[in-house]
Each structure stands twice: as C-alpha cells, then as structure tokens.
Structure 1
Amino acid sequence: MPFVLYLLATAVFAQGSSEFMLAGLLPDLAADLGVTVAEAGLLTSAFAAGMVVGAPLMAAAGRRWPPRTALAAFLALFIAAHAAGALTDHFAVLLATRAVAALANAGFLAVALTTVALLVPETARARALAVLLGGTTLALVAGVPAGALLGDALGWRATLWAVAVLAAPALAAVLLAVPDRPAAAAPLALRTELAVLTRPDVVQVLALGVLVNGGTFGAYTYLGALAERRVPLVLALFGIGAFLGVAAAGRLADRHWRRLLAWCGPLLLAGWLALALAPAALVLLAPVLGALAFAAGSTLIGRIMAAAQDAPTMGGSYATAALNVGAMLGPVLAGAAYTAAGAAGPAFAAAGLTASAIAVAVYAGRTSSPAHHGSGK
C-alpha cells in the first residue's frame, strides 16, 4: 500500500475522533456556555448534518482541483474550525464551527476516497479503503476514549485543541506526500456525474450502506444504556471488533465481497437480536457485533465506489453521504425504540434496519447485481 494512504488515515483518525468525542462532555460544556444539555446535544446533530450536506457539496466545489490542493484546503479549514471553537465563549459560534468542521471533514473524506481509486489498482481497492477507514475505527478504539479523558482532566476546549494539533502534521504530510496530479482538463459535467444516482444498481447499494450503517450507529449510540458501569470496556471491545472487521474486509472484499456480505448480513441480524433478547451477554457480543458491522459497512463503501465509478469526482461523496445518512437515521430510530421498549429497543431497531438491508440485497440479487462493476465471488 502507498505510504500516503497511512498519512490520510491519520487525518481521518483526527476527524473521526472529533465527530464523537464531545458526546461524553456535554454536561460540562453546557454549564460552561450557559445552555441546556439538550441544546448542547445539537453539536452532534450539526456535525452529522454537515457531513451529509458537505460530502456532495464540497466534492462538487473541489472537483476541478488537484487532489493535494483539495485535501489540504479541507484539512486546513477543519483545523481552523477547531481552533475557533476552542476560543469562543458563545454557543452559537461553537455550533457554527462544528458545522464548518463537518463540511470540511466530509469534503476531505470524499476526496480521499476518490484519491484511493487513483493510487491503487482496482484489485487492491478494498485493502486501500480498509487502511483509510481504519482511521475511523481507531478513533472509536483510542481517539474517543482519549478525548473523554482529556476533557475530564482539562476541559472540553482541550479536546478541540488536541484534534487541531493532531491534524496539523497530517496537513503537512498531505502537502508533502500526496501526488500533485493536475486536475482533469475537462472533467465530466456535474449533471452527468449526478445522473449516476438514478441508476438502480447505485441506488440499491446506497440503500444498503444507509441501512447497515444506520443499524450500527443507532445501536452504538445507546450501548451505554445497556453497559451501565461497563461503558468504557464495552465501547473499547466494540471498537476493537470494528477495527478487526475493517481489516478482515480489506483482505477479503476485493475478490469475495458477495460472499462476505452474504455471511455478515444474517450473522449481524442474529447478533442484534441476541443483544436485544440477552443484554447480559453484551461484553461477549460487543466485539463480534463491531467486527460484523464494520466488515459489512466498509465492504459496502467499496461497492458504492465501484458502482459509481462513472462519477470519478463525485463517487467518494456518495459513499460518504450514505455512511452519514445512516449515522443520522439510526440514532433517531434507536432513540424512538429506546423510548418505546427501554434499553433493548435500540438493538431491536438495529435488527430491523439490518433485516431491511437483507431484503434490499435479496431484491437486488433478483433484478441486477448491486455494484455490478468489478469482480467478486
């Protein structure tokens, strides 16, 4: 794998840590800025919404730029937003910086996913995506807990400064190591690339990405309600499983993505149901569910990129948007299930979303293959 992929993964690690780490610091942040905890929770919603909107918007804005220019610009904006957020005493300003940071994050990830396709042959694309997405899973394992500890010790502002400091070397690495390939002299018209979204195979695999990731992030958001005093242990086990799942998908998904999804889907459905019916087994199930969920999710990102290869500058944004639509939809449905059925409700919601994904996959298999481009078993 080109070393530059590991540098890009470092930036993804910083961005993934930023997306999740403030959730555990909301009470202190709310008290410091004079807002309610519920109002402070809007910071998470603003980031998720910025990711969904920002992926296609930022990719479209930077589609004529060389990869180095686009990645550096988005990462510099991300760093600046965190510095501004750490300095402000006004909640409205902090909220705005979170939205801006999310836009920059989405743009960076969309361009990075597209850049992967330029740096490696198609037969190694799943492994390359696993390296890049490993930054996100490592954020769950190490970045989020470290941010929570830092915030408890030094205050929530310290977490924003830490992310900015961590992203700075990644910016230098992008400027030094990402190939300065000139942008295409005449890229496809934007409407031509957007028209890819009307193709059934693309719609199907996007729906799979939304549903699987919706189940994952919906259940993940409410794991603490089941874990009680074992929250750090459970989140760490889930994160370790996620990292291993992404790594396994990187090894297998280039040639065996169909088989991988065919196994992961039913096993993941069974796992969510087992968690809902036997919450006492959470410690045992957490790493297994993390591995299955992220193996399936990262494989689907690769299939979205393959299905949307006729949108060379926008395909990465479609994958990013699908991931984050799931990250928005899942917690909403899981929250409703929690209200209706208690702590087991989110696992039932995740099972329902996973079952829906399996139904879509079965339908797609009977009509046309989702992500028909590329080989696989």
Structure 2
Amino acid sequence: MQPLAVSIGDPAGVGPEVIAKAWEARHSAGLSPFVVLGAEAPLRAVWDGPVAPVASVAEAADCFESALPVLPVGALAEATPGAPTRDGAALAFAALEAAVALTLEGQTAAIVTAPVSKAELKAVGYTWPGQTEFVAERSGVAPEDAVMMLAGPSVRTVPVTIHIPVRAVPEVLTTDLILQRAEVTARALRQDFGIAEPRLAITGLNPHAGEDGHIGLEDRDVIAPAVAELRRRGWTAEGPLSADTLFAPHIRTRYDAMLCMYHDQALIPVKALDFDQGVNMTLGLPIVRTSPDHGTAFNIAGRGIARPDAMIAALQMAARCAASRKAARP
C-alpha cells in the first residue's frame, strides 16, 4: 500500500508535536508509513528527532524507518509554537491542498489532516467552513454528501445536523436528511470497515424519543418514517431510540454506528468514552480522510505535553480503511 499523506495543520498548534510522537510510536502502534506535507521548521521547533526532507512519495517510503519524511510544500523558515501567523496558515492551506491532490492521484493511500485554525485560514483567503468541505469539493463531492463520523474504540457516531444552533435543529431535521446521512454511513461501514450488514441506531430528538408525540412530534413524524424507509431499503436500523440509554455498555455494542440528531448528542459520548483516541472521519468521499478529533490547542503547543493517541488512532484508521477499499476492488 502507498504511504499515507499527513497534512501538518497549523504549524503553531500541536499538530507537529503529535505527528512526531506518532512516528516515534510507529513500531509499537503498528503504523503504516506516512509522509508529512508541510515544512521542517515546525517539527524541529518541538522535536529533536530525525527529520528527512524528501522530493517524492517514493523517497518518503524508503526513508520512513529511519527518519520522519517531510515533503516541503511551502516556504516557512521558522515557527513558534503557540503563536499562529498568516505564513503558518498559508502553509496549512498548501499542505492540505497537496495532500488531497496526491491522494486523488493515487500516490498516497489516504489523508490524515492535523488540526487547523479556521480563523487563521480565513485570513489567508480560505473560504471553506472547515477541512471537510475543502476535501469534499476537491474530490468532486457535494458538501451535503460528505458525512462526518466520530469514532473511537467504544463507539461510532454520526451527527445528522452539525454546526447550527440547537433551536434550529427541529427546523433543519427532515426525513430525507436522516435517510441521506444513514445511507452514506451504512455504505461506508461496508466499504471502509468491512461490515457486511451494518447495524444502525437512530436516536430520538426529544427526551425519551418523544414518547409517541407526548414530548414533541419530531420523533414520531420525522425520525420514525426515516427508520421505516431504511428498513424498507434493506438496511438494519432501529429507532428512534432514547439517547439517554443508548450509550450504555450493554446497549451500544448492539450497533455499528449511531446516528444522532445534533452535534452534542453525537460528540459527547465519543469524548466521554474515547477522548484521547477519538477520530473524525469523512464518509462519502472517493478517498479516505481521517483526522484526530481535537483542535490546534495553541495553549499547550511546544510544551511537550500533547498526547499523540488521537493522531495515532487517525493514522491506524486511515490505513485500515484504505486497505479495506483496496481489498474490495475487483
């Protein structure tokens, strides 16, 4: 399999540190080879390990065992941890673009994106809401067809609605939207995780999943019809299920993924159960893209205390999913 492409993220954040620490753990974590898209300076600012600038992906694969390979994509002579700059944001943008291009070309097997600062990116002309939308557009996928999944060792969740106010959720939530998110999720579980018959849990929106219309009508009138249609289409799905009990250990193991109606309903379980190993994966793309489920953490950058667990998990998941896709090809 080709190496993974790792975009360095904001060079002033914890990305360079967790990437370097992941390389240090390459043997114990069983990591596939990867190449960092970015620059040497951010890595050398936080790490004294071996860094090898390379001119190609093939060269990166050859030197991975002895040094962390970096394919330069921009000119950044220095980086100060915790002090983001426009030059740093420009590097993050260039690294992301290069990682996507290499993976679409087949030179790299998948993309793992380190955290970026949306505010800093906007200052250098980045117009996408986040990295997900950029990767989707470059891959020829409509933004609404790129679905976010949060995954850890204990649970996988998919938020049906994401970055909108809670009061707007009932207005945005539709049967068609739930169906679209669910089918993208189910197909990805088959293609990327090798689960032949994915089992989906669909949460309710209201307390106790609405109690048949006594606590809100959305569960009965919007969510239940989506579950019925999923079953009619041949998918294994249950719901609407009360979210306050769904994530109990003896219940969550019955399902391969949980579709949740709003952002916190999906993210709280993952961050409570798998905080240090949470992975953000974009479903519905022609390429595999994962990311550690944490931000730039400028406040701790350069202090040597950033944990690499989520980056390691993102690298492991990207490699497994890319291998699953490759094995399924005729």
TM-score (norm 2): 0.28
TM-score, normalisation: structure 1? 0.26
Higher helix share goes to which structure? 1
Choose between structure 1 and 2: higher strand proportion: 2
